[in-house]
Amino acid sequence: MLLTIVAFIVALGVLIAVHEYGHYRVAVACGVKVLRFSVGFGRPLLRWQRKGSPTEFVIGAFPLGGYVRMLDEREAPVAPEERHLAFNTQPLRARAAIVAAGPLANLLLAILLYATVNWSGVDEPKALLASPVAGSIAQQAGLRGGELVLGAALGEQDFEPVRSFEDLRWTLTRGALDGENVRLQYQPVHGTVARELVLPLDQIEVREADAQLFRKIGIVGPWTRPVLGDLVAGGAAERAGLRRGDQVLRVGASEVVDGGQLRELIRASARAGTAQPQDWRIERDGRQLELAVQPDVVQEASGPVGRIGAYVGAAPEMVNVRYGAFEGLYKGAERTWEVSLLTLRMMGRMLIGEASVKNLSGPLTIADYAGRSASMGLTQYLAFLALISVSLGVLNLLPLPVLDGGHLMYYLWEGLTGRSVSEAWMERLQRGGVVVLLLMMSIALFNDLTRLFG
């Protein structure tokens, strides 16, 4: 819990500080007097001011936001001798640059964070495929489990190397959300000649980017050896005489290819509401044994499932993914661009009802993922920061009047018509923007509570 709180506060602090620093740095470069730079709202917990600087730096008590207060005739009287330092007296291009600098700073931070992850390297599961979900697109396309994916491509694009299972998952996510087929280049289990196949993801109706999406595709995880780990005392596995390290070869009439398939076979044993006994063939210390296993029935939200009270499946084979200096930076910029486009597409689809608003996440989900990623290591935490930084940058560029994108919308109108938006219209638009933003925040918070406590 403490790690989650600390990771969340650090994430917010870094992302907000970078965003506001973008506004601050460009404002100073444009000759605007900055009165206050604040990370957080409410009562100041800490404040300081450098000698000779007009800017007061503040850390506020409420961390969900920040602001840069500039000299502005619309907010307070400005002395005639300082009028040239006021924000509202600057030319249109300078005002637009100051406003755009915050979101752009977040996007630049994301590039740097992704690049840092690429340079430092991260251990990820190898792109070995587990057995596909029965009846899924992957199974219908001819995958059986154990294939090594070498490359992937969206639509008719050229193949890109797949270095890890996470690379493959990202390509599948983009293909499903964009309604594009994904071509795979893979090495079969028995054979050295690479083959190709097409996953027709344009057949999937996608409303949420969740676990069910990957079950429809049929690729839910990397291949793992079908062995048993620690057993629960008194559980079905112990009662059947199973032991840690047993490798499962067959369950009933089904040959077991990997740990994921074994888990599915165990879960499926209770679909009728009562667990059906299963005949297992296992290998132990070089000998094959036949055992009868009676799974326990556990009630889940989706219905009754079978459990045996044991850790099923070994850890997946890992590979260290690391890039050189230039390639790592390029990949960081490419990932930032792709995530930005994907975020915009999902928002657009939610707006027209083609995607569920359940995709919106709020501070509770962000805090939860901050803690999880921090517990996994620095590189995972940096990747999480990069993702949230992209989301913050894109969100602030939306044309909502209370956001940076709304102010850029005003400046676009001013550039096209030669006159600024009237005070009356400004007030109406601001009120509408506040309503929309509060609605989005309410939905996100409701989704948070549903995910964490539902």
Structure tokens at 277: 């006994």
pLDDT band of residue 19 (cuts 50, 70, 90) is very high
How does strand 228-231 pair with strand 310-312? antiparallel
Q: Does residue 107 have a pLDDT over 90? A: yes
Its pTM stands at: 0.83
**What is the average pLDDT value for the chain, to the nearest integer?**
85
Structure tokens at 228: 């048993």
Higher per-residue pLDDT: 441 or 78? 78
β partners of residue 196: 185
pLDDT digits (tens, 9 = 90+) for 425-454: 777 777 777 777 777 777 666 665 666 665
Indicate the range of 12-21, 145-154, 188-197 predicted with least confidence. Answer: 188-197
DSSP 267-311: HHTTTTSSPPPEEEEEEETTEEEEEEE-PEEEEETTEEEEE-SEE
Q: Does residue 212 have a pLDDT over 90? A: no
pLDDT above 70: percentage of residues in the chain: 90
- Using DSSP, state whether 142 is helix, strand or coil: coil
Catalytic residues: 20
Higher per-residue pLDDT: 183 or 431? 183
Higher per-residue pLDDT: 65 or 85? 85
- Using DSSP, state whether 114 is helix, strand or coil: helix
- Stretch 321-349: mean pLDDT: 88
- Using DSSP, state whether 38 is helix, strand or coil: strand
Burial class (CB in 10 A: 0-12, 13-18, 19+), 1: exposed
Domain 137-217 sits in CATH 2.30.42.10? yes
228-313 fold: Pdz3 Domain (2.30.42)
Among 190-194, 301-305, 330-334, the range of highest mean pLDDT? 330-334
- Stretch 207-216: mean pLDDT: 70
Q: Does residue 17 have a pLDDT over 70? A: yes
pLDDT above 90: percentage of residues in the chain: 35
Radius of gyration for the chain, computed over Cα atoms and rounded to the nearest angstrom: 27
Higher per-residue pLDDT: 403 or 163? 163
Kindly report the length of the chain. 454
pLDDT band of residue 401 (cuts 50, 70, 90) is confident
pLDDT digits (tens, 9 = 90+) for 1-14: 677 788 888 888 89
Structure tokens at 246: 């047993």
C-alpha pair distances (Å), 226 with each of 108, 134, 155, 229, 326:
43, 18, 34, 10, 40
- Stretch 370-393: mean pLDDT: 83
DSSP label at residue 228: E
Higher per-residue pLDDT: 32 or 350? 32
Taking the C-alpha atoms of residue 299 and residue 307, their distance in angstroms, rounded to an integer, is 10
- Stretch 290-302: mean pLDDT: 85
Taking the C-alpha atoms of residue 219 and residue 172, their distance in angstroms, rounded to an integer, is 9
C-alpha pair distances (Å), 339 with each of 176, 191, 198, 273, 386:
14, 36, 23, 42, 10
What pLDDT does residue 205 have?
A: 74
Ramachandran quadrant class, 35 (left: phi over 0; alpha: psi -120 to 50; beta: rest): alpha
What pLDDT does residue 369 have?
A: 61
> How many helices (H) and strands (E) in the chain?
12, 16
Domain boundaries in the chain? 92-120+325-454, 137-217, 228-313
What pLDDT does residue 182 have?
A: 93
- Stretch 351-358: mean pLDDT: 63
- Hunting for tokens 């009868």 — which residue is that? 292
- Beta carbons within 10 angstroms of residue 265's beta carbon: 22
- Which residues are within 8 A (CB) of 258 and not within 5 positions of it... i.e. 6 or more apart? 130, 131, 145, 146, 223, 224, 225, 226, 313
Beta carbons of 279 and 292 less than 8 angstroms apart: yes
pLDDT band of residue 356 (cuts 50, 70, 90) is low
What pLDDT does residue 363 have?
A: 63
**What is the arrangement of strands in the sheet containing 287-293, beginning at the earlier edge strand?**
254-255, 247-251, 278-284, 287-293
What pLDDT does residue 134 have?
A: 83
What pLDDT does residue 355 have?
A: 60
What pLDDT does residue 70 have?
A: 93
Q: Which amino acid is at 31?
A: G
- Stretch 65-80: mean pLDDT: 88
pLDDT band of residue 22 (cuts 50, 70, 90) is very high
Q: How many CA atoms lie within 13 A of 158 on its CB side?
A: 2
- Stretch 263-286: mean pLDDT: 85
Q: How many CA atoms lie within 13 A of 46 on its CB side?
A: 3
- Stretch 120-129: mean pLDDT: 90
What pLDDT does residue 413 have?
A: 85
Q: Does residue 354 have a pLDDT over 70? A: no
Indicate the range of 75-79, 113-117, 139-143, 422-426 predicted with least confidence. Answer: 422-426
